[in-house]
């Protein structure tokens, strides 16, 4: 059924558009992968000694500002040096690390992700992404993408980003960046903190605050998960840490408006009405902005079996839903 949600006016024009992949099949088999459209310079490179498909290992690179930056990387068992693979980059939350994020997200679990390289970068300032007093982490991620393309055989049109909490907010920052948004095909923040700078906390109106966002293309695919009982990043938003958190649904409506999708959305009640799924768009673009609102769920990555965030189970695993969403989109 259809519901109309009132959207604010926000006109941001882009220069490129995310395209639905030729195959949007839910099948997890590698045979269902869309034909790669781009071959990276790393195709044909031999893996480093001691590294092989199916492994996870830590690697390092020197960023343009001279810092030694590290990341955890998992190569799928079917990785070859001659077939470009998709890439999922996953950002940990504040106070966590890349190993925790690998275990939490299950993006290295080939039951959920049999085909994509999974990369888990490490933040360096108090394990916190995009700190104003720290390094330029957006620039680092663009450099990391360049580094990965030179090192591994990657489909450059199928690079994706996801993150939890502070990492989810950083995922949204990348989607809003004029350059990063043209290098990453789709974005999936979970329990993200979408902090907005204001002159004073007293100026914070979570239902109307404008999200500062300037993507370098139109039709940016966004998949977002958030629990209504989240007390760390409240669904209802509010003033926090001297900044303003928007109501989560307001942030998603702005993405719908920014993508030119209008005010109409398809709404589904799932799992006995405990989860609401909102999809904006129409035709092939239906769901280019999608939001899962989980009643009574806290600041936890959704998992049917519990996870490192919490032993509490929920109705679904986020990882396969995210991977199915990513498979739909390419640059």
Q: What is the pLDDT of residues 31-52, one digit of tens each?
A: 456 667 778 999 999 999 889 9
Domain span holding position 141:
2-23+30-330
If one compares 127 and 244, the residue with the highest pLDDT of the two is 244
Q: Which of 78, 72, 59 is nearest to 102 (CA)?
A: 72
User: What's the pLDDT at 236?
Assistant: 98
Confidence (pLDDT) at 2: 36
With both helix axes pointing from N to C terminus, report the angle between 166-176 and 137-151 in degrees, rounded to the nearest 10: 80
Range name among 21-25, 39-43, 53-57, 80-84 with the lowest pLDDT average: 21-25
Task: Give the chain's domain count.
Answer: 1
Q: What is the mean pLDDT of residues 282-297?
A: 95
What's the chain's Rg over C-alpha atoms? Answer: 19
Q: What's the token pair of residue 234? A: 């409240």
User: Do residues 86 and 38 touch, judged by C-beta distance below 8 A?
Assistant: no
Per-residue pLDDT at 313 exceeds 90 = no
Quote the tokens at residue 218.
Answer: 């139109």
Rounded Cα gap, residues 223 and 185, in angstroms = 12
Read off the pTM.
0.89
Lowest mean pLDDT segment, chosen from 159-163, 189-193, 262-266 = 262-266
Residue 25 is predicted with a pLDDT of 34
Range 258-263 average pLDDT: 87
Q: Residue 310: pLDDT above 90?
A: no
CATH number at residue 62: 3.40.50.1820
Mean pLDDT of 292-304: 96
Task: Note the pLDDT tens digit of each residue in 2-31.
Answer: 333 333 323 322 334 566 664 333 333 344
* For the chain, percent of residues with pLDDT exceeding 70: 89
Q: Are the beta carbons of 301 and 312 closer than 8 angstroms? A: no
Residue 285 DSSP code: G
Biggest CA–CA distance in the chain, Å, is: 56
pLDDT at residue 96 above 70? yes
Number of residues that make up the chain: 331
State the Cα–Cα distance between residues 318 and 306, nearest whole angstrom: 12
**Has residue 149 got a pLDDT over 80?**
yes
- Residues of the chain with pLDDT > 90: what percent? 76
Tell me the pLDDT of the chain averaged across its residues.
Answer: 89
């Amino acid at each position: 059924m259809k519901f109309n949600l009132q959207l604010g006016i926000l006109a941001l024009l882009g220069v490129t558009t995310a395209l639905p992949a030729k195959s949007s099949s839910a099948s997890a088999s590698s045979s269902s992968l869309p034909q790669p459209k781009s071959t990276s310079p790393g195709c044909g490179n031999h893996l480093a000694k001691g590294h092989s498909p199916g492994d996870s290992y830590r690697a390092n690179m020197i960023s343009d500002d001279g810092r030694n930056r590290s990341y955890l990387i998992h190569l799928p068992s079917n990785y070859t040096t001659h077939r470009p693979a998709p890439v999922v980059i996953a950002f940990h939350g504040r106070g966590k690390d890349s190993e925790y994020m690998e275990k939490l997200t299950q993006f290295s679990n080939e039951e959920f992700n049999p085909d994509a390289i999974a990369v888990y970068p490490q933040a360096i300032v108090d394990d916190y992404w995009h700190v104003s007093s720290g390094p330029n982490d957006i620039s680092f991620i663009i450099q990391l993408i360049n580094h990965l393309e030179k090192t591994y055989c990657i489909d450059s049109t199928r690079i994706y980003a996801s993150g939890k909490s502070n990492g989810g907010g950083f995922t949204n920052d990348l989607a809003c960046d004029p350059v990063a948004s043209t290098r990453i095909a789709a974005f999936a923040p979970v329990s993200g903190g979408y902090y907005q700078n204001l002159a004073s906390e007293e100026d914070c109106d979570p239902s109307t605050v404008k999200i500062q966002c300037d993507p370098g293309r139109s039709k940016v695919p966004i998949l977002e998960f958030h629990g209504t009982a989240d007390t760390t990043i409240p669904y209802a938003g509010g003033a926090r840490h001297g900044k303003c958190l928007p109501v989560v649904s307001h942030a998603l409506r702005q993405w719908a408006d920014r993508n030119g999708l209008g005010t109409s959305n398809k709404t589904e009640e799932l799992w006995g009405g405990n989860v609401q799924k909102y999809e904006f768009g129409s035709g092939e673009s239906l769901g280019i902005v999608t939001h899962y609102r989980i009643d009574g769920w806290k600041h936890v990555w959704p998992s049917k079996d519990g996870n490192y965030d919490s032993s509490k189970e929920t109705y679904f695993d986020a990882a396969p839903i995210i991977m199915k969403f990513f498979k739909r989109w390419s640059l």
